[in-house]
Amino acid sequence: MSDLIWVYAEVVDDKITPTTLEMLTKAAEVGKAEAVLLGPAPDDAAQTLANFGASKVYRSADSVYGEYLTLPAAETVAGLIQKHNPAVMLFASSYAGRDLAAALSAGLDSGAITDVGDFVLKNGTVEATIPALGASYQNTSTLVSRGTKLLLVRPKSFEPKTNAQPLLVEEVPAASDEALRKVHMKERVVVKREGPQLEGAKTIVSGGRGLKGEENFEMLKELADLLGGAVGATRAAVDAGWVPYAMQIGQTGKTVKPDLYIACGISGAVQHLSGMKTSKTIIAINKDPEAPILQISDLGVVGDVFKVVPQLIEEIKKRKGA
């Protein structure tokens, strides 16, 4: 049985994404890891993939993959899968990863497992662990289709480790069919973000519906600044227009894993919990003693966020001054 595991490598902001490296590390632990890298990428991208365990990189730098979304990549990857028949192919649960896995799972009639947090491979059969319904249930699933099993992997599921392999790159022909040029990427707009980034922050102070308005995020910012951290938010706060999407933590936002997570006025909807529940230490402040976030907190305070947070800020200032 093949233990060949492929990883679809992604580049964002001119860098191989962290999730790509996390998946490669896992793939190399479970079997023989190889990567597929399509479209524009930095010069050292293939080397980076090799450094994290890829024993081979299938590569086309053709601009078609950047200018036209999903379809050219799906065509190329489907061709490669049919030729080399890896046991498993991993995609990040990202914008590009989800689109590509969706197209391939239909095109190959194979299905796919989404939201995978871990997996094992036994005699060509894959068993994936899925935190299916956020904090409340955990499933294991398998794919009974023939051929390559497609898995969409949650960010931060694995710890990336260097595991250098000799660099071996196989150039692949670009998808050239005109019919694949249907979804045209006309412009990439970078929206400047202020303040420390959520990605990689050691401390995150996060606010939800209980914050009641945009202006009250100032208080969280002050707390975050004191702790050298970043400010995050729930989908409810983002949907209400209080803070930008870039701050959203949860299933449809970012997955974070800081050392300290302080949840303020957040009830703990599944949507949010799944993006932060692997934080090392969680502190929650909520007025509702039944709030699910309190059940996963290391310290839960049932109280008014507008009283507790200012007192905490004052207390930290006092102790720092002392």
**Structure tokens, 284:** 């929650």
Residues between 60 and 99 that touch another protein (CB under 8 A): 69-71, 93-95, 98-99
CA distance 292 to 272: 11
Residue 162's CB is within 10 A of a number of other CB atoms, namely 10
Q: Which of 122, 190, 194, 321 touches another protein by CB under 8 A? A: 190
Smallest separation (angstroms) from another protein to the CB of 90: 14
Residue 265's CB is within 10 A of a number of other CB atoms, namely 27
Smallest separation (angstroms) from another protein to the CB of 56: 27
Between residues 6 and 242, which has the closer beta carbon with respect to another protein?
Answer: 242
CA distance 174 to 151: 24
Q: Are 305 and 215 in contact (CB under 8 A)?
A: no
Between residues 17 and 60, which has the closer beta carbon with respect to another protein?
Answer: 17
Nearest CA-CA partner of 134 in 270, 298, 318: 270
CA distance 4 to 11: 22
Q: Does 115 bind another protein (CB under 8 A)?
A: yes
CA distance 319 to 13: 40
CA distance 176 to 178: 6
Smallest separation (angstroms) from another protein to the CB of 172: 22
Residues between 137 and 166 that touch another protein (CB under 8 A): 137-145, 152
Residues between 242 and 271 that touch another protein (CB under 8 A): 245, 251-252, 259-260, 262, 269-271
CA distance 193 to 62: 30
Residues between 205 and 234 that touch another protein (CB under 8 A): 227
Phi and psi, residue 132, nearest 5°: -55, -50
Q: With contacts defined by CB under 8 A, name the span among 49-57, 76-84, 132-140, 214-222 that binds another protein.
A: 132-140
Q: With contacts defined by CB under 8 A, name the span among 32-40, 160-168, 211-219, 281-289 that binds another protein.
A: 281-289
Residues between 166 and 185 that touch another protein (CB under 8 A): 182-185
Smallest separation (angstroms) from another protein to the CB of 119: 12
Q: Does 322 bind another protein (CB under 8 A)?
A: no
Between residues 36 and 236, which has the closer beta carbon with respect to another protein?
Answer: 236
**Structure tokens, 161:** 């480790």
Residues between 5 and 34 that touch another protein (CB under 8 A): 12-13
